[in-house]
Amino acid sequence: MATYNFPDIRPTSQTFELATNTRTFQSPLSNAIQTVSRKGSHWRTTMTFSNMMPEDRAVLMAFISKLDGQTHRMRIRDYGAIRYGNAVSPQTPLVQGSGQTGSTLTVDGASALVTAYFAAGDYISFNNELHVVTADANSNVSGEVEVSIAPPIRTSPADNASVEYAAPFGVFMMANNPKWTTESPFNSTIIIEAIEDVLA
Domains of the chain: 3-79+170-196 (3.30.200), 82-167 (2.40.30.290)
- Please give the pLDDT value at position 36: 63
Q: Which tens digit of pLDDT belongs to each residue from 123-175?
A: 999 999 999 999 999 999 999 999 999 999 999 999 999 999 999 999 999 99
Chain-wide mean pLDDT for the chain?
A: 91
**DSSP designation for 117:** S
Phi, psi (rounded to 5 degrees) for 46: -125, 125
Cα 89–Cα 133–Cα 7 angle in degrees, nearest 5 = 60
Cα 85–Cα 156–Cα 199 angle in degrees, nearest 5 = 100
**DSSP designation for 67:** H
> Pick the residue with more confidence: 149 or 38?
149
Phi, psi (rounded to 5 degrees) for 88: -110, 120
- Please give the pLDDT value at position 37: 64
**DSSP designation for 116:** T
Q: Which tens digit of pLDDT belongs to each residue from 68-114?
A: 999 999 999 999 999 999 998 778 899 999 999 999 999 999 999 99
- Please give the pLDDT value at position 179: 86
